[in-house]
Chains A and B, each alone.
Chain A
């Protein structure tokens, strides 16, 4: 279990100091696939480097299983890293790379050899054990980097955007592979990425970061379906933002009046308002294209964009002028064909919207 307790990290000094992390607190559980998700510069890599010990926090504490890591250099932490660039030792073979950590821990040769072959089997690289790291492909280097970091059996494995250098297909494959390795080894994974899809498919829990702070922590479903604020809703997936007026509130459920006058129910989440102007977030797939008078919203169809598995409809809402994007899965039984420029109605799925914190 990793406890990160009000950790701040400043680079530079004085007024020009850059605050990479601002009082971040989070607890990462045992055997969890935990993802730090955010755009570049949000502090996710800095947090990872603090856990690894490459940098020290300016203030705050990091505890591993209740033990303060402050005075421990990286080589005394039971934590290993998979680097973004893999950072494989070019002067060593694949097997020597994988065995490096154990050798440094002073394990006997026979044990090192046994663990190395076990790890190479785990990442399916046994037949390339004697190759130099420059003689293998990017995907294979990725596996070696994983095996090298897993070999010493760390309590926590840190992964710094390890899939970003791979092509699409390989990335999909490695996502499943990582998930498999995590459940097979039972090691806590802390995974850094800016790819929201990667985060959603792999994680047990996700922390969405921005500007050096954590904006929301939750399971993939929770993060996607119930974003707490505009940044999270915008960063993860596509979202339509609508201005609305809260007219009633009972617990998690809020009654809203939209700009065009229709009333809808939505989840109020962590919003503490009971009335007044709010922003409603609606996912593109939570709305349907309907006849002009059959929905809660009306607008003019500007664009139809075909994506293979689904089609996106771009609609300018009547009166408000806001752009609304609607997504529909393509299926053989085609719905009534619509044309660009046509006026259409939009039906929102009941209680699909999420009221956002401002």
Chain B
């Protein structure tokens, strides 16, 4: 076989899987989003843009008046807000952690990384319920606080946006630490010394030397946290208690209880578009910085 054919043969299995498992379903979802819902789930094969319309607007059942679909918009807003907050919180916690690990002696770095990875390899549901056990009204934190006399009533943490934020940060933190650590480990620490030597204080060294050099890791980590957060399902479901919906839960609702598959399909594609906009935004941000110095 010629080299180009060999290359094609190596690529073929991945291409086949990607086509049937990603592109194919995507086309189905796209088609469904332009049909009308069947009475008991499924779709009726009639063309309609109602589902797309329904993503952002709703028609009053009695007066036929149009209005914004506030319920949907607030879910969009909550998803984007919580995903951003999770990314920022993960960065704030993950960056110093990655720095700490990268500055340990070579042998012990792997041990630290293992400690970071162990929760990541633990089942998501178990981890989420563990968080729940900590923060629920009769949970560890509230019990301790009450026992110490710091509060008289348990603090409501579970089923709030706070609990979702904590849960998602906990779940996705390794995805932030890993790429930053990878960049940090390759960082030549004599550059840090050079920074100190040239009158830069700790903060200035961090901002002017370390951060620009590990920025690719920070961008990668932010994407790796932000994107799955947008579509998160289990964590908001368990820790939001079905009261605080995120996009993933809303989509599930359409395909499940509400039996509106076309709307679910349209919402899924909307999520995809939001993710793509976010990615373009990130890539731009990373690229601009490069140009400014290039």
Query: Which residues of A line the B interface, CB within 8 A?
Result: 52-54, 73-76, 79-81, 83, 85, 87-93, 100-101, 104-105, 132, 148-149, 152
Interchain CB contact under 8 A, A85 and B190: yes
Q: A91-B212, A101-B199 are in contact. Are A83 and B190 (CB under 8 A)?
A: yes
Contact mask for chain B residues 244-267; partner A; CB cutoff 8 A; 1 contact, 0 none? 000000000000000000000000
Kindly list chain B residues whose C-beta atoms are within 8 Å of the C-beta of A85: 188, 190
**Could you tell me the dominant secondary structure of chain B's interface residues?**
helix
Check B272 for interface membership: any CB of A closer than 8 A.
Answer: no
Interface residue tally for chain B (C-beta within 8 Å): 19
Whether B194 lies near A93 (C-beta < 8 A) is no
Contact partner, A81, options B194, B201, B209, B293, Cβ 8 Å: B194
Which residue in A54, A75, A89, A91 is a CB contact (below 8 Å) of B199? A75
B294 to A132, Cβ gap below 8 A?
yes
Q: Is the CB of A90 within 8 A of B198?
A: no
B138 to chain A, nearest CB (A): 48
Tell yes or no: B77 within 8 A of A by CB. Answer: no
Instruction: Give the residue of B191, B293, B294 whose beta carbon is less than 8 angstroms from that of A87.
Output: B191
A52 to B195, CA, bound (A): 12
Say whether B198 contacts A91, CB under 8 Å: no
Our count of residue pairs bridging A and B at CB distance below 8 angstroms stands at 65
Contact among A54, A91, A93 for B196, CB-based, below 8 A = A54
- Chain B residues in contact with chain A, CB under 8 A? 188, 190-191, 193-201, 204, 208-209, 212-213, 293-294
- Report the bound CA distance from A105 to B197 in whole Å: 11
**B190 and A87 contacting across the interface, CB-CB below 8 Å:** yes
Task: Check B294–A90 contact: CB distance below 8 A.
Answer: no
Q: A74 near B193 (CB under 8 angstroms)?
A: yes
Given contacts A87-B194, A88-B194, 20 further A-B contacts (CB under 8 A): A53-B196, A73-B196, A74-B196, A75-B197, A75-B199, A76-B199, A83-B193, A85-B190, A87-B190, A89-B195, A90-B191, A90-B213, A100-B195, A100-B208, A101-B198, A104-B201, A104-B208, A105-B199, A132-B294, A149-B198
Which of B194, B200, B208 sits near A83, CB closer than 8 Å?
A: B194
A74 and B193 CA atoms in complex are apart in Å by 8
Q: Which residues of chain B have C-beta atoms less than 8 A from A90's C-beta? A: 191, 213
